[in-house]
Amino acid sequence: MYNDNPTLSGIKKEIDESKQGEVFFQEAGLQGTVSDQKHFYIESYGCQMNFSDSEIVASILSEVGFQPTRNMEVADLIMINTCSIREKAEDTVRKRLRVFDKMKQQRPGTLVGVLGCMAERLKSKFLEQEKLVDLVVGPDAYRDLPNLVSNAEDGDKGVNVFLSREETYADISPLRLGSNGVSAFISIMRGCDNMCSFCVVPYTRGRERSRNAFSIVAEATDLYQKGYREVTLLGQNVDSFKWENPETQEVVSFADLLAQVADVHPNLRVRFSTSHPKDITDEVLYTMARYENICNYIHLPVQSGNSRILDLMNRTYDREWYINKINRIYEIIPDCAISSDIIAGFCTETEEEHKDTLSMIEFAGYSMSYMFFYSERPGTLAARKYEDDIPLEIKKKRLQEIIQTQTKVSQAHNQRDIGKTFKVLIEGTSKKSDQDFKGRNSQNKMVVFPKAADYRAGDYVNVTIHKATSATLIGEMIAE
Ligand code: 5AD
Ligand code: SF4
């Protein structure tokens, strides 16, 4: 679910975290603002969950009179929603803090807040290391922001990194910032109980908890009524979603939830991310097959194709088990696209074991993958138990081989689409040409095609593909 570029459907190189910062703003909010109105500016890094959280933060702040701005220079409050997943992500955040420091020196009184996973990981150390930071707020403490901001305005720096077992922000209606008005994220659960040995998330986002299913369906309904046509249900591990209705004791599983959201309207597409291979059930797969509006796309990170490494990673499945899962998906949903996350050079990985990862990419036939080399994170199981013993050059070499293999597989995957016709949801104008629309098919592939009068973002159209790269399908609309 790692979001560097949500529109990308082909190959992804080691993510350049410096390119991930996204500024949220709201055009409407910028008009007619009065000069004494307070403004906040927020940049988000990391996973889709963080982007979704920034919309919750925006909502909380707008309730106390703050307006969003895309211009850091006029902001009274500058916030950065941070990622700790790899060292590089944290380096990027520190670089951005230098820029904010300069801004603060030019405009004394501007407050700087660090939110998200890095805030949680470093806690009050942040205030010691970064003297100009005023607020440090962890992922479960955003309701406290108005209070922390008001204290900081009085000169009291504040930290709240309390991790909750209950907080899901179920009642907060996210302020959809920087949205295309067509697709939106809905956070359905928070935290993670999986304890993959390489991962810092269980420490930064706390225990797993599921959000009230009624509030999720209500949010999807509201989005549909506002003109949105696609929702992505978000969580670190969506397949373990489980919510018990306190009145009836009825338990809503992820498969049930998918069906309930799909029932909102046949024209509302439903996507979800991320699935842990151990938790995705046949029931989920059959539900996907049953509903045309649940997209045929699963992000199913393998991490490694080798059973010994998977064991060290504490993934709780082995190569054979994962292969069976892939077979089951293609059996129940033959045209499903599957994507993955892959880590190169985990502790003690041999050349042979690395080759198992390459062969897994070929076997699974991923449409795309997010690929990284291993980055040791302080405090994780792997950091405590295993030596980070693969030299950086070897990690990089293996990553390159993984990228090459995935590029080849993505290319072949997309070539197979030439001549096919897909139902595409128009998201807007293509980045490369204002004569073209861009949109996605059910398999989450980006499709680019010439514009035609009378169509706009949010419309469904049929597009026949005549060309493909490893990242994009190119085609033409056909009459209905
Ligand atoms: N080093 C490299 N990649 C990591 N990921 C998580 N932790 C690490 C780490 N320490 C990757 C995994 C995960 C994705 C979000 O980031 O592939 O699925
Ligand atoms: Fe998202 Fe935090 Fe994980 Fe980064 S470390 S990908 S922000 S959950």
- Band the pLDDT of 177: cuts 50, 70, 90: confident
Q: What is the DSSP string of 185-233?
A: EEE-EE------TT--HHHHH-S-EEPPHHHHHHHHHHHHHTT--EEEE
86 CB near ligand 1 (under 6 Å): yes
Q: In this predicted structure, what is the pLDDT of residue 210?
A: 98
Q: Report the distance separating Cα 95 and Cα 111, nearest Å.
A: 17
pLDDT at 2 over 60: no
Q: Would residue 135 count as lying in a domain? A: yes
CA dist 400 to 198, 354, 372, 396, 404, Å?
Answer: 20, 12, 10, 6, 6
344 CB near ligand 1 (under 6 Å): no
Q: Is 332 helix (H, G, I), strand (E, B) or coil?
A: helix
Please tell me whether residues 300 and 358 are part of one structural domain.
yes
Please tell me whether residues 387 and 432 are part of one structural domain.
no
- Domain carrying residue 448: 421-478
Q: How many domains does the chain have?
A: 3
- Residue 396: what residue type? K
Q: Report the distance separating Cα 347 and Cα 301, nearest Å.
A: 18
Ligand 1 atom having least distance to the Cα of 382: 10
pLDDT at 184 over 90: yes
- Band the pLDDT of 34: cuts 50, 70, 90: very low
Please tell me whether residues 239 and 356 are part of one structural domain.
yes
135 CB near ligand 1 (under 6 Å): no
Q: Would residue 51 count as lying in a domain? A: yes
Please say which residue of 401, 435, 468 terminates a domain. Answer: 401
Please tell me whether residues 465 and 396 are part of one structural domain.
no
Please tell me whether residues 378 and 258 are part of one structural domain.
yes
Please tell me whether residues 119 and 76 are part of one structural domain.
yes
- Band the pLDDT of 9: cuts 50, 70, 90: very low
Task: Give all strands of the β-sheet with 230-234 in edge-to-edge order.
Answer: 183-187, 230-234, 269-273
pLDDT in tens, 392-426: 999 999 999 999 999 999 999 999 999 999 999 99
Residue 27 burial (CB count, 10 A): 10
pLDDT at 239 over 70: yes
pLDDT in tens, 446-476: 999 999 989 999 999 999 999 999 999 999 9
Please tell me whether residues 348 and 455 are part of one structural domain.
no
Average pLDDT over residues 427-434: 96
Dig out the tokens for 352 from the structure.
Answer: 């042979």
CB 239 within 8 A of CB 254: yes
How many CA atoms, within 13 angstroms, populate the side-chain half-sphere of residue 415? 7
> Measured in angstroms, how far is the CA atom of residue 199 from the centroid of ligand 1?
6
Please tell me whether residues 142 and 26 are part of one structural domain.
yes
Please tell me whether residues 90 and 151 are part of one structural domain.
yes
205 CB near ligand 2 (under 6 Å): yes
Q: Report the distance separating Cα 59 and Cα 57, nearest Å.
A: 5
Please tell me whether residues 154 and 187 are part of one structural domain.
no
Rg (CA), the chain: 22
CATH of the domain at 64: 3.40.50.12160
Q: In this predicted structure, what is the pLDDT of residue 18?
A: 37
Q: Report the distance separating Cα 77 and Cα 72, nearest Å.
A: 9
CB 34 within 8 A of CB 332: no
pLDDT at 150 over 70: yes
Dig out the tokens for 156 from the structure.
Answer: 């009291």
CATH of the domain at 463: 2.40.50.140
Beta partners for 113? 79, 135
Please tell me whether residues 307 and 428 are part of one structural domain.
no
198 CB near ligand 1 (under 6 Å): yes
Q: What is the DSSP pairing of strand 22-24 with strand 38-44?
A: antiparallel
- Band the pLDDT of 130: cuts 50, 70, 90: confident
Q: Would residue 215 count as lying in a domain? A: yes
Q: What is the pTM of this model?
A: 0.93
Please tell me whether residues 149 and 37 are part of one structural domain.
yes
Q: Would residue 178 count as lying in a domain? A: no
CB 122 within 8 A of CB 159: no
270 CB near ligand 2 (under 6 Å): no
> Measured in angstroms, how far is the CA atom of residue 195 from the centroid of ligand 1?
12
Cα 237 off chain centre by: 12
Q: In this predicted structure, what is the pLDDT of residue 155?
A: 92
> Measured in angstroms, how far is the CA atom of residue 24 from the centroid of ligand 2?
18
Indicate the average pLDDT of the chain.
92
Cα angle value 15/16/18 (rounded, 5°): 140
Q: Would residue 167 count as lying in a domain? A: no
pLDDT in tens, 89-117: 999 999 999 999 999 999 999 999 999 99
Average pLDDT over residues 161-180: 95
- Band the pLDDT of 178: cuts 50, 70, 90: confident
Q: Please name which ligand lies nearest the alpha carbon of 302.
A: 1
Q: Comparing 24-33, 47-56, 195-204, which segment has the lowest mean pLDDT? A: 24-33
Average pLDDT over residues 31-41: 69
Q: In this predicted structure, what is the pLDDT of residue 22?
A: 56
pLDDT at 12 over 60: no
Ligand 2 atom having least distance to the Cα of 2: 6
pLDDT in tens, 308-317: 999 999 999 9
388 CB near ligand 1 (under 6 Å): no
pLDDT at 25 over 90: no
- Band the pLDDT of 15: cuts 50, 70, 90: very low
CATH of the domain at 234: 3.80.30.20
Dig out the tokens for 386 from the structure.
Answer: 């295993």
pLDDT at 56 over 90: yes
Average pLDDT over residues 260-278: 98
CB 208 within 8 A of CB 189: yes
343 CB near ligand 1 (under 6 Å): yes
